[in-house]
Amino acid sequence: MAIETLRPNGAGFQTNISTVIGAATHWQAVDEVSQDGSTTYLSNDSGNQGTLQRDLYTIPDHSVGGGPINQVEVVAFTQHTVSFVHLSLRTHSTTYDSPDDVGAGGWSKESYVWTTNPFTSSAWTWIEIDALEIGIELSGSGGGGGISDCTQVYVEVTYAFSGPSVTTHDVIEVRETTGTGLGTITSIGNALITQHGHVWDTSANPDTGDSKTTKGARGLGSFASDITGLSAGTTYHTRAYATNANGTAYGADIEFATAATSAPTVTTEAVTSLTQTTATGNGTILNIGGSSVTQHGHVWATTINPDTTDSKTQNGFGVVGAFTSAITGLTEGTTYYVRAYATNGQGTAYGNNIILVTPVSPDVSSEVAGPIRIYRTRLEYKDAYGQQRGAELPIITA
């Protein structure tokens, strides 16, 4: 069950109590959140105990409640001796009073409960609550030092709690430090949803006191949350949640685990533009791993599995995708091993080995054993063993 408390905010159908103390108006003498005793109050100081005086007050529309109403309780703090008081309400243009309540002096709480609307004899509705007036009826003090005072009036509406209903789905796109939470709001309950999202923690059944997303107001339907700030290689629990004026509801607890911390993933492709001393290295970063790629390029050496202690290019920060490197300083006629590499906070990863062999420039003077002829831009000749040889001639322009 839940309770919404409503307090006077204006004069109602009647303003008949004879004396107001400490306040500008009658309703302002009894509207305080905490009763203030003899600071502000109303008094029926008539000497005739049979003289009844009643005030009725308007109240604001309800703002929290929304479920079926169980009861309406009018509450007042009074002090009265030989006199008596009635708790009052007005609904459907008709005023109703509680039975006589005879006090014994001193400020004390008085209350009376209406479980149904006395006019309709049916369960209260929120429309009737919004139109309700509440109040107090005081009998005369009776003279001789008697008192008949009231310092506070309010009404408590008790209703059945009805929060939202929400479902938690599996977490998708889980990486080292992030994931995507999925959920569905299947019912908004008795009031509009003001907040929703996901909560998560390393312990089961997290709530809004733990890490959470705050996605604001919404209605029925599916939603997704960016779950961030996670630790790699860790098991977490998450729940979808939704909040309305009646409270916060959670979906089932779902467990998920982040990926272990990892270096990038990189592949090496065949070199291109090969000359006696240079080549173009080709590679692809397939995955940056657990953190940003801070360096990438190619490494090469005359032995297999070169690493960053060997000759290398340094292309700087990298992203997923293809890249190239200018491989220089090679020796002609030499076999090299080349690997693409990428480095992040977790380490350096290498691609597969690619073999390249630099070409050898022809030495015409030591090989020629026969006639030489030039055909367009190609030099052709026979070597000392009678084999036909040839070489492309450079094109020189002025």
Identify which of 192, 148, 199 has the alpha carbon closest to the alpha carbon of residue 41: 148
Same domain, 317 and 384: no
At residue 262, the pLDDT reads: 80
Distance CA 328, CA 274 (A): 10
Q: List, for residues 48-70, the tens digit of each pLDDT value.
A: 777 899 999 999 999 866 678 99
Same domain, 55 and 40: yes
The H or E element containing residue 364 is helix 364-367
Tokens 């961030």 map to which residue?
228
**253-248-217 Cα angle (round to 5):** 105
Same domain, 15 and 138: yes
Tell me the one-letter amino acid at 36.
D
Average pLDDT over residues 224-231: 95
Same domain, 154 and 8: yes
Same domain, 252 and 317: no
At residue 382, the pLDDT reads: 65
151 Ramachandran zone, left/alpha/beta (phi>0; psi -120 to 50): alpha
Same domain, 331 and 195: no
Choosing from 239, 257, 275, the residue where a domain stops is: 257
DSSP letter assigned to residue 367: H
Residue 98 confidence (pLDDT) above 70:
yes
Residue 398 confidence (pLDDT) above 60:
no
Choosing from 136, 159, 182, the residue where a domain stops is: 159
Same domain, 207 and 238: yes
Band (pLDDT 50/70/90 cuts) for residue 394 is: low
Six token digits for residue 380: 């052709």
Tokens 């076999």 map to which residue?
335
Same domain, 142 and 21: yes
Q: List, for residues 105-136, the tens digit of each pLDDT value.
A: 789 999 999 999 999 999 999 999 999 999 99
Pairing, β 388-392 against β 378-382: antiparallel
Number of domains into which the chain is organized: 4
Tokens 């390393």 map to which residue?
202
Same domain, 27 and 119: yes
Choosing from 109, 132, 159, the residue where a domain stops is: 159
Band (pLDDT 50/70/90 cuts) for residue 363 is: low
At residue 100, the pLDDT reads: 79
CATH code at position 330:
2.60.40.10
At residue 380, the pLDDT reads: 65
Domain hosting residue 305, numbered range = 265-357
Same domain, 303 and 211: no
Could you give the C-alpha distances from 118 to 113, 300, 324, in angstroms and in order? 11, 93, 86
At residue 362, the pLDDT reads: 67
Distance CA 13, CA 133 (A): 8
Same domain, 213 and 229: yes
Identify which of 100, 101, 89, 85 has the alpha carbon closest to the alpha carbon of residue 141: 85
Cβ-count burial of 28 within 10 angstroms (0-12 exposed, 13-18 middle, 19+ buried)?
middle
Distance CA 102, CA 100 (A): 6
Residue 388 confidence (pLDDT) above 80:
no
Same domain, 71 and 111: yes
